[in-house]
Structure 1
Amino acid sequence: MVHTWVNAEPAPRFYPNVVTLTAGDTDISEQRQAVRILLKSHLPGRWAVKDSFHTLDIARLGFEVLLEANWIRKHHPKPAQMASGLTWERAGPGNEGFPAALFGDGNFVMFSGRRAGTIVAGGTLYRTDKVVGLSNVVADADDEPAVWRDLSSLAAATFPGLPLVGYESGDELNAAHKAGFEIGDPLRIWVKARD
């Protein structure tokens, strides 16, 4: 479906089974229908819908809001001097116990930042044809804006010339904004309410 990405199998924890890809009125109706069809498949446990444009209202279908967030974007990140004072390392097979299969996709990169030998920050990057997605950013509150700047620079060095996108909420959204990311439109993550 052009308007919706659907995974009808159990997904890893914190990953959605449905992601909306467009926001037209007809598309929204078809997206709700896709959710209804998936509901009838009786997926086990709680599962989620990523409402990428904050346009679905699926509370009546048994969903509750898990997260409200905003898209973020940095149009032209450039490699720069690291701002956090951390030592950054690109994770790979065997590092920190990550399985080798995780690194089989050349578009996927994970970075960890160390202070005095201990990992205190990190983030993952995933390249598509036109953008690089930045997700799973972790940092101590005092380091957050600097970590976002560092990850932006690492993304520019790893995947040059591509804009950087993601979504965040709360303090992380503020940290990304302080690091030069534009705050975009809202999105919503819905989760199937417990029966």
Structure 2
Amino acid sequence: MPDDVRKAAARDNARWCAAMCASHGLTGRIDADAWSVPRRSPQWYPDAVTLRPDVDPAALLARIDAGAGASVKDSFADLDLTPYGFRVLFDAQWIHRPPADPPPGPPLTRVTTAYELAAWASAHGGGSLFRPALLTDPRVAVLARHDPEGTVVGGAVLSGDDPCGVSNVFAHTADLDEIWRAVVATRPGVPLVGYESAPDLPPPLRAGFVPAGPLRVWLRRS
């Protein structure tokens, strides 16, 4: 997979992490090496995302609160943070879907109100992690699938434009394959990027995504 696809996926993911942090009142910085935030990011979100290979580990960690609980998304799986007290939390694969006709099926519905977001977050399992400020970001779309009674049964988040990042895909009571197909139907003809760990790869691959290279998330031991 061309390295520029991986770089585009990493950059889009960094922008999504920045949007999540901004919704919690945290301002980060981004340059050619990485995106980072100086204070601890929200739960499940990294404190830094590398944007190119061969970033200097010491310089990267100097940009964040590198104490216990710090995490780094090593977008090219080429860092060794073990000497700095970190361990590998998990390995995953970037995924990419080139512009193509979407699989058949209806798209997801955009969440537009704080009330709808609360219901979405409850089904997702993220609770108060997802704040209404996200709904005011024009680059972010929180998407839901509803059953006939209006209950959220699945969803996803899309961010950016070209490529468009896919994250937080979940199925509460819906079929996960159907949710991935609906994600593609929501952005027809647009390149899509995201990442998944090995157990969660089959549904996006069946929806037309292909692996785009490894990434790794590191966590600072207590």
TM-score normalized with structure 2 length: 0.72
C-alpha distance in structure 1 between counterparts of 2:173 and 2:158, whole Å:
21
Tell which structure's C-alpha radius of gyration is larger.
1
Instruction: Report the identity percentage.
Output: 32
Alignment of 1:54-133 (within 5 A): 54-79=77-102, 81-82=104-105, 88-94=108-114, 95-97=116-118, 99-117=131-149, 118-128=151-161, 130-133=162-165
CA 1:142–1:109 in structure 2 vs 1: closer, same or farther (change >3 Å)?
A: closer
C-alpha distance in structure 2 between counterparts of 1:70 and 1:141, whole Å:
25
Residues 1:49 and 2:72 aligned together:
yes
What is the SS of the residue equivalent to 1:22? coil
**Aligned match of 2:13:** none
* RMSD, aligned CA: 2.3
**Aligned match of 2:166:** 134
Letter in 2 for 1:81: P
Structure 1 residue 140 displacement after superposition: 5.5
Structure 2 portions without partners, runs of 5+: 1-30, 119-129
Structure 1 portions without partners, runs of 5+: none
| Residue of 191, 195, 215 corresponding to 1:163 | 191
C-alpha distance in structure 2 between counterparts of 1:189 and 1:42, whole Å:
14
Q: How many residues align?
A: 179
Residues 1:189 and 2:217 aligned together:
yes
Give the conservation status (yes or no) of the 8 Å contact 1:145–1:179: yes
Structure with greater strand share of residues: 1
TM-score normalized with structure 1 length: 0.81
Which segments of structure 1 move beyond 4 Å, counting only runs of 4 or more? none
Letter in 2 for 1:92: T
C-alpha distance in structure 2 between counterparts of 1:185 and 1:63, whole Å:
22
**Aligned match of 1:4:** 34
